[in-house]
Amino acid sequence: MTEARRLLGQVFGFPEFRPGQAEIVASVEAGRDVLAILPTGAGKSLCYQLPALTRPGVTVVISPLIALMRDQVRALRAAGVEAGALTSQTEAGEAEAIFAALDAGTLKLLYMAPERLASAGPLLRRISVGLLAVDEAHCVSQWGHDFRPDYLRIGELRAGLGVQTVALTATADAETREEIVRRLFGGAAPEIFLRGFDRPNLHLEFRPKDAPRRQILDFTAARRGRSGIVYCASRAKTETLAGALGEAGHTAIAYHAGLDGEDRRLAETRFQREDGLIVCATIAFGMGVDKPDIRYVAHTDLPKSIEAYYQEIGRAGRDGAPAETLTLYGAEDIRLRRAQIDESPAPAARKEADHKRLNALLGLAEARRCRRQTLLAYFGETLAAPCGNCDLCAERPEVFDGTEAARMAFSAALRTGESFGAEHLIAILRGERTERVLARGHDRLPTFGVGSARSKPEWQAIFRQLMGHDLIRPDPSRHGALRLTEAARPILRDEAKIELRADTLRRAAARGAARREAVALVAEEDEGLLSALKARRRQLADAAGVPAYVIFPDRTLIELATRRPATLDAMRGITGIGAVKLERFGQDFLEVIAGEAPEPLHPARRRLAGSPGGALFDRLHAAQLALARGPDGRGKPLSCDAATLARIARSRPADLAALAELPGVGALKADRFGPAFLALLQEDDGA
């Protein structure tokens, strides 16, 4: 460690290690594999850069962002360290210089994107790799919020090289850490360093949305001249907000994945070099932003998860000086995030975990006490006293005993089989005799009308808070129906109490009275099914290499979610479903609606689905079964195959002679089945 401490000051100019760095550097220098989870701004890069300089060989660094690699190589070279990066943007001359330095043994750090690993094996086996460093290691986990499939190659590369490895990330909960160990380290436990997640210099604040553009303009106006990031949920919003900030006198630019490579590089360069620049960005402007003096991070919309939130706000105040965060959120944000989870092609277990993570973020937004205590508790840390540096410490919200309301909500969910979403449960609690409530007999439940004293917006706020406490959670296998978690059981049995925020309910009631709610595409209880139908449509579209609307337009999926047809015949009446699409895709979407694969139909019967001939086919088939051994049940078994029955249903023969002439029938079958078949045909004509 003596040499590392000397280089810390001589090369990097730091008088002391930051908390946690010395122990990790010592472990790496001792030759141990390491997994380090350190908060953003804690100096993770030094944990492999210093050992790279104190040991022989090349340290290969796998990093997900070209911009970050470019910045780190630039900083290392400025400090006198031989470093290079091989990326898709590396020019031929620079690549040749890097290869020459590798052959000469002078290059100490080689940065590579995970996408290059497939072709990098021969190079890495040729050079002397002393250490493999995996930055943003949570990307290796499918449970992480920034999963990158190319990261899955790293474990195989590591095993092939037999090289010591250090993996670093700022956000990894227990599930993510377990998968990193399994995928990256082959299940052999590395030495794990889990250092404090607290960033005490960051002021934390959440606000309900109320004219969000004005809220952001007011927030940035009070911080004019300071560098900041404003995260938006869509590309279009980054453009319009950057324009509005520009009109307000700020220097602001938009950044999103839709920009071409040159425009993105220009934006990154401007942000690094210009003071007071505001970047309105999607999460494409993400991992590895290494500007130390970002003074604030604002979110115009709720982030995807609590881990994503933590990492995004962590880009502010990396120099240790005070910095601020603001997150706006609303009911539509939550609805959008739920839909994104449900519409993803991820397995049910992943969706369940994502709903849990979103609940945790919602719990932070609706927290009743110090936000920092709530945030750190999620990551398994305890802060003994309120932080004094968040909005809830500045003004503690008013709370009330929400135990009775929670028990009403839980009871309504249980008495309806945990098969419905919040909207239907609220209708029951408020005693609303809606068509759906009456059709299911839920007006006869003991819970019907027990919550009529509260308005619908108030109940919506209560359900959001209950989800924020992770007491109820959408069930992906039941199209988003709410089910109770184990934590709700003691409250339901009156063995525990729960406090809820009264100010949230008041704001909800005021907003509900002030304006009509936006018209939803489908009823809330059908939203989960609509998301599942969209997910299946995406799978089919990706497999066919066509836009999603080519399979079915949204209007068709909305009608499917609302009407929930149980058969192909019923599906044929849905707008946008013709005979060809019904035959190609009908079974797939019926499986989503029913939750299981339906009984397969013979292709001949499937082609008649939704037409009058389909029902006639079924009746002909039933008549044939009844006469399979003749009227007395003693004859020789006879039958017509499905193609023959379909032919009869389409051609509708007028007499026994015409029936017998059809392919697949003949005189013998016409004699046995003919009278019954002709009677059904005449009956069908009469109908």
Strands 399-401 and 499-501: antiparallel
DSSP element (H, E) containing 125: helix 117-126
Instruction: Grade residue 90 by pLDDT with cuts at 50, 70 and 90.
Output: confident
Read off the pTM.
0.69
Torsions phi, psi for 475 (to 5 deg): -100, 110
- In this structure, which topology does domain 202-329+366-381 adopt according to CATH? Rossmann fold (3.40.50)
Quote the pLDDT of residue 166: 95
Task: State the average pLDDT over residues 576-582.
Answer: 82
Task: State the average pLDDT over residues 59-65.
Answer: 89
Location of each CATH 3.40.50.300 domain in the chain = 2-194, 202-329+366-381
Quote the pLDDT of residue 140: 83
Q: Max Cα separation, the chain?
A: 104
Location of each CATH 1.10.10.10 domain in the chain = 399-514
Amino acid present at 469: H
- In this structure, which topology does domain 399-514 adopt according to CATH? Arc Repressor Mutant, subunit A (1.10.10)
Both tokens assigned to 255:
């950044």
Quote the pLDDT of residue 212: 92
Q: What does the pLDDT look like over 485-526, one tens digit per residue?
A: 999 999 999 899 999 999 888 887 776 554 444 445 667 667
Q: What does the pLDDT look like over 313-326, one tens digit per residue?
A: 988 988 788 999 99
Which one, of 529, 476, 535, lies nearest residue 344 by Cα?
535
DSSP string covering 596-642, please? Answer: SPPPPPPHHHHTTTTSHHHHHHHHHHHHHHHTTT-TTS-S------H
Q: What gap in Å lies between CA 570 and CA 523, rounded to an integer?
A: 21
Location of each CATH 1.10.150.80 domain in the chain = 524-600
Q: What does the pLDDT look like over 158-213, one tens digit per residue?
A: 888 889 999 998 777 777 888 889 888 988 889 999 877 888 999 999 999 988 99
DSSP element (H, E) containing 174: helix 174-184
Q: Domain spanning 612-686 has what CATH number?
A: 1.10.150
Task: State the average pLDDT over residues 3-23.
Answer: 86
Average pLDDT, the chain: 86
Task: State the average pLDDT over residues 560-575.
Answer: 83
Which one, of 357, 351, 327, 356, lies nearest residue 339 by Cα?
351
Q: Which residue has the higher pLDDT, 54 or 549?
A: 54
Q: What does the pLDDT look like over 264-274, one tens digit per residue?
A: 888 888 887 78
- The CATH superfamily of 524-600 is HRDC domain (1.10.150.80)
The percent of residues above 70 in pLDDT, for the chain, comes to: 93
Q: Which residues touch 670 (CB under 8 Å, ≥6 apart)?
A: 656, 659, 660
Query: Among 3.30.450.20, 3.30.70.360, 3.40.50.300, 3.90.1150.10, what is the CATH number of 2-194?
Result: 3.40.50.300
Question: Could you tell me if residue 90 is left (phi over 0), alpha (psi between -120 and 50 degrees) or otherwise beta?
Answer: beta
Strand partners, 510: none
With the C-alpha atoms ordered 86, 87, 93, 96, is the resulting torsion angle positive or negative? positive
The percent of residues above 90 in pLDDT, for the chain, comes to: 35
Report whether 195 contacts 171 (CB < 8 A).
no
Quote the pLDDT of residue 292: 78
Report whether 283 contacts 232 (CB < 8 A).
no
